[in-house]
Structure 1
């Protein structure tokens, strides 16, 4: 594998997909080929976040098969832990679902209550060392739980919901493991203690989504004309001035699901009409507001309407982190495509002149070589007729 990667004329072929969307890294993660996966990621620069036809990343497959070494490798190389598959499940959803299923199988095999109590003891024991990393690959009974805590300790989102509206914690009925997951996530993401003279501005997703009045419900009401989202629908009638900009509230609109896909919640505010009726995926395809048909001059994300900072814009393909374009990759790809075209149009005999004569079998050659041939050089059929191309 190392030799192949060194001699590879087309570097992008590392991420080429099969008909089912699987790349080489998908197969390595699925079959627990740790050394192959490490070479593909570190030497071949394989895309760790690429998805198959089921929108699964290599991390999804490694978590599903409980291949802890592959999981550790992908997380160490900074893959995205929160990519959903076709059902909206992240790798953390998968880990907790498998853990719950394994627990149910164990409970079915148990004959007395004492074994159940020992099982709870295992979970408590597990929580003490999970922050140190994953356990041994052979620990089948604990591998799913250890993978889940490892993902949570590396900033996997505990609040992201799948298409059924379930968070990862909803798939875990074990309260001890839920506490361990919350502890892992909190200790990894806890900010440093600020000095007494500084003011901490919370910009995390949870604080920006909670209602500024009751702090119990989530924000779901759009104020007009300012376009801010500060309260839930129950508290909004009591608000006369926007809590963020102090502008007089003239209209209150509850944010519903996307009117296009009806799958996700509307999260993009259209300007200048002031409507929020589409999710980020559908809004990217629109030129006009689907509600009032007015032209869209600007889009504002939900997080900005709540007072947060906009997410960084994704870099276009083949653009490096410093903003410059990676022209070498483009040149290599174009050169290879040009060579492929030359190979297809050149004579298969002399490999010098262009094909300008075809045979009845469908293959061809140049005129000088074709006049001398009695058999097709490709399929070995007898040459019965020669047709010149002009």
Structure 2
């Protein structure tokens, strides 16, 4: 496998699908071929999130088969992709855990019904029970591992079930919630505080806090002492035409102004007061968007940065629209790539590049073309073969 991957003429072959949508990584995850999966991911750069005809990723299959060594999470697989039924890998893990519990309960009832004289049967059932206990433990461990790595506990499938709805075990539900909370907590408070402190520092002197709004770009990059020396915005590199020192909120006078109004470009109100305004108090222009201070500094806001005044749902709709546009672009590019493959690949073996053309205009690779007496496309007799260089 290592040699094959090193000799690949075209890297995308690693992600080629069968008729059922399975890639090489799907098959490795399904059959627990750990070394093959590692080579495909690390050497072949296989796409971890490709879906088969059932919209399952390799992670879905690994969880479904309880292959704990091949979960692909540390390699960066997305944890919340849904299959055709709307199930995420966490849904699969908890469903498997619940089913193993039910089978264990059924076997316990069967053991009670077996006559004491049938010792071999009883021993067989007890051995099977132990195996299912291990299986249940494995399923629970996988679920906790997914939750600890950030899997969403609230995503609902097409039946309206969240992962926790599939888990009747209250102790496991608490453990999952705890794992998820620890993951979210570990990556949010400290990181956000450190980022905000860095973003508030002047990008020139690093001693003072940023307090000057550049126009027309609307970024805040320096303190008022350093701003006269800056000719281009340090964030977007746009020419600085105006510099405005950020003063206290003109409404409450308690806090500093912290929200940029657009399209007018004024920052004259704090967050609390800005949310109440329909028009800019400085120029009386209608406010279409509000941009938080942290975003003007080049950071990311925890809330929606472009809150539309007319309706609170419009930003979400805009986001969905953007996602739809991106998906359409991706599908278009995928179709273009497929067209290029069809134009350049041999139509007979589908493996080598087309480098031989017949007089009819169709072509194949040299290896296939040398063996043919008629064109595989139009069935005309091959009178002459022309090699492409």
Pair 1:103-2:120 in alignment? no
Which of 353, 361, 383 is equivalent to 1:340? 353
Please tell me whether the aligned partners of residues 16 and 23 of structure 1 are also in contact (alpha carbons under 8 angstroms): yes
Pair 1:69-2:69 in alignment? yes
Relative to the length of structure 2, the TM-score reads 0.51
Aligned counterparts of 2:155 and 2:366: Cα–Cα separation in 1 = 61
CA-to-partner distance for each residue in 1:74-98, whole Å, 9 max, x for gaps? 0111111111111111100110011
Pair 1:184-2:162 in alignment? no
Please tell me whether the aligned partners of residues 92 and 151 of structure 1 are also in contact (alpha carbons under 8 angstroms): yes
Q: Which sections of structure 1, spanning at least 5 residues, go unmatched? A: 115-135, 202-225, 227-241, 250-266, 287-312, 318-328, 370-390
Please tell me whether the aligned partners of residues 99 and 145 of structure 1 are also in contact (alpha carbons under 8 angstroms): yes
Please tell me whether the aligned partners of residues 348 and 365 of structure 1 are also in contact (alpha carbons under 8 angstroms): no
**If you compute each CA radius of gyration, which structure gives the higher value, 1 or 2?**
2
Question: Shift of residue 30 of structure 1?
Answer: 0.8
**Equivalent residues in 2 for 1:1-390 (5 A)?**
1-71=1-71, 74-111=72-109, 139-191=134-186, 245-247=274-276, 274=311, 276=314, 340-345=353-358, 362-367=379-384
Query: What SS is found at the alignment partner of 2:157?
Result: coil
Which 4+ residue blocks in structure 1 deviate beyond 6 angstroms? 192-195, 198-201, 269-273, 332-335, 347-353
Aligned counterparts of 1:159 and 1:57: Cα–Cα separation in 2 = 20
Query: What SS is found at the alignment partner of 2:379?
Result: coil
Aligned counterparts of 2:321 and 2:189: Cα–Cα separation in 1 = 40
Please tell me whether the aligned partners of residues 89 and 162 of structure 1 are also in contact (alpha carbons under 8 angstroms): yes
**TM-align CA RMSD:** 4.9
Aligned counterparts of 1:368 and 1:49: Cα–Cα separation in 2 = 42
Distance 1:167 1:194, change over 3 A: closer
Please tell me whether the aligned partners of residues 194 and 200 of structure 1 are also in contact (alpha carbons under 8 angstroms): no
Question: Shift of residue 366 of structure 1?
Answer: 3.6
CA-to-partner distance for each residue in 1:320-373, whole Å, 9 max, x for gaps? xxxxxxxxx99x9799659834335469999999x9x979x924334599xxxx
Distance 1:10 1:347, change over 3 A: closer
Q: How many residues align?
A: 247
Please tell me whether the aligned partners of residues 20 and 52 of structure 1 are also in contact (alpha carbons under 8 angstroms): yes
Query: Greater share of helix residues, 1 or 2?
Result: 2
Relative to the length of structure 1, the TM-score reads 0.51
Question: Shift of residue 151 of structure 1?
Answer: 0.7
CA-to-partner distance for each residue in 1:275-320, whole Å, 9 max, x for gaps? 749596567558xxxxxxxxxxxxxxxxxxxxxxxxxx99x87xxx
Distance 1:350 1:169, change over 3 A: closer
Aligned counterparts of 2:158 and 2:367: Cα–Cα separation in 1 = 59
